[in-house]
A and B are shown apart, each in its own frame.
Chain A
Amino acid sequence: MDFVRSIPLLSNLLLVERNGMTFLDALPILQNGILAGLLVALVSAFLGVYVILKRIVFVSAAISQISSLGVACAFLVAAMLGHHASEVKSQFLSGPGLTSVVFACLAALLLARQVSEKRITRESILGIGYVLPAGLTLVVLDLLSAEAHAIEDILFGNSVFVSVEQLRVQAVTAVAVLLIHLLLYKEFIFTSLDPETATACGMRTRLFNRILLLTIAFTIAVSIMSIGALPVFAFMVIPASAALTLTERLGPAFFLSVAFGVSAALVGFYLSFVFSLPTGPAMLATAGVFLIPGGARTLLHRWRLVGSPTG
């Protein structure tokens, strides 16, 4: 403690008090939440680059809602069999965690299919895939109103108090997803940029596209149970968008996106403690700040174009 007090800026930040407790004192209680938030931000911000480049932002939104419906269904089935929500919660990996992942992965595989847009557009399918599960989840929550609070904890995430089991699942997911992406980086990029040419050159485009979508679905399903659907969606979209407005190369885009995501998670968590804000939205708002440099760059570029003699 004395060591921390001796570092001027750090001591000001870590020893700030809220409700009679300094941030440093609260760290042992908050550490699982912080670590889970950082892991979610890291993987989601990395995958977010693909989400933006493949123009599948609303695929990820629909997957998160379908995954939430999976959680709600696990509780509904358990309630119908006479089990209490606290029992279901204690069997997290074989219960709501499993249904969440299964629903998300099935949704990803269905949404990966090419559809003929003559009668129904892809946009409509995504809209239905987003709103229908969202509505059904609310219906299930209403049916299980007595246990709704326990379910909401899982469904919308409680980024302050994350269980050790959930943290482990989050860490294993992060390592597995990043390893798959390290090994198949070339394949994911080529099949995302130009799937037809990749197929013509002998690549198994459909397989790689499915693996990529499954890594996104798996990450969403696990992450929404740590920090909630809205912040996960934000980490999938905002850091990557901010990064892609700042660079002309893919490597730096991935790096910047992860750096923005992790920074937003850390700063957002800290601000939520200091100002007693809900953690997820605080992270989301902090992530939004990283859009400013890219937005300013774009505006400056346009202004230069207008100002130039040929503009």
Chain B
Amino acid sequence: MRIFVPPYDAEVIERIKREDGVIIGKTNMDEFAMGSSTETSYFGPTRNPWNLSRVPGGSSGGSAACIATDEAVLALGTDTGGSIRCPASYCSVVGLKPTYGLVSRYGLIAYANSLEQIGPMAKDVYDCALFLTVIAGHDSKDGTSVNAAPKDYTKFLKDNVEGFKIGVPREFFGEGTSDAVKKQVWSGIHKLEELGAVYEETSLPSLEHSLAAYYIVAMSEASSNLARYDGLRYGYRVDKDEGNWATVYSQNRRIGFGAEVRRRIILGTYALSAGYYNKYYLKALKVRTLIRRNFEEAFKKFDVLIGPTMPFPPFKIGEKIKDPLALYMSDVDTVSANLAGLPAISVPCGFTNGLPIGMQIMAPPLREDLTLQAAYAFEQNTPYKNRKPTVN
């Protein structure tokens, strides 16, 4: 898609231009948004501005890195299983995945259409709220767009979280969560307690299964959505005329897609194929229902749920890319919000050895205001927003 020139603007871009926003350019990302480190990009990896030997997170790694280094004030990302929140956490910026359907996906290249959302990334919570106000809203060109009343999200930002009930699911601090992350996120929760909230530890048992369910659903949808890349109408096409349609199509897709994209399409095709559909895809969709129910129950009791965005700090470039499953594991805390369609924000909550850590705040559907208010109160009362990376 290197030479692809979109013939029309996405709805989010139109909305930004309508408010006199200036589009500076496109940033680096994992190929077709498939990755958690920006290492699968055709153009090569993006480096983490806080430590150039580390990944910036992904898939929207370029977006986060350019905000952290003040190259752009705002950036868009898409989040299918954490692709806004992960790089926001790893680059110490703010990133929000909105409720499924709040922001139009018209003009977005589909990866896993029942999970993904476009969302705002910014240097602070105020900018994030302002940007969301601009891009959110009903669009008849997107059949999954929610017809919710427009809100000015900046109006909800307050200096405290008086009366907030916070749930802390223990599944978010599972095996594989680093001690430094636990420590910083817990100190963040205590900070919110100081600011007027009450918290309680809780359990959402089905979250244990969210990662497996997520990857099955995402890969299955990807195999269908990416079938359109035939190399005929757009995209890469081999430069030869012999061979029939199926052969040329298969060769275009071999060379035109990187390894991770091919892996997900092939495995997704397998999960949807006769004999395996019930075992993988349908089963994953039922587990998805259980995860939604767990969240619905939890939100009867709590206003927001809090945990880490990422289980460990930014890892080294090259450390996980050779082992796909190891890389998938880094999405363990983010994918459940996509499966349930919930809003979730990542806000900077400290550092370990100079590497950023992010705190994740989730709320019920269409309650972006609660995630933003909690994140704003936290940001205003902690010093992390003012820390900037020095990049030479």
Please indicate whether A and B come from the same complex rather than being unrelated chains: no
B binding-site residues for A, Cβ under 8 Å: none
A binding-site residues for B, Cβ under 8 Å: none
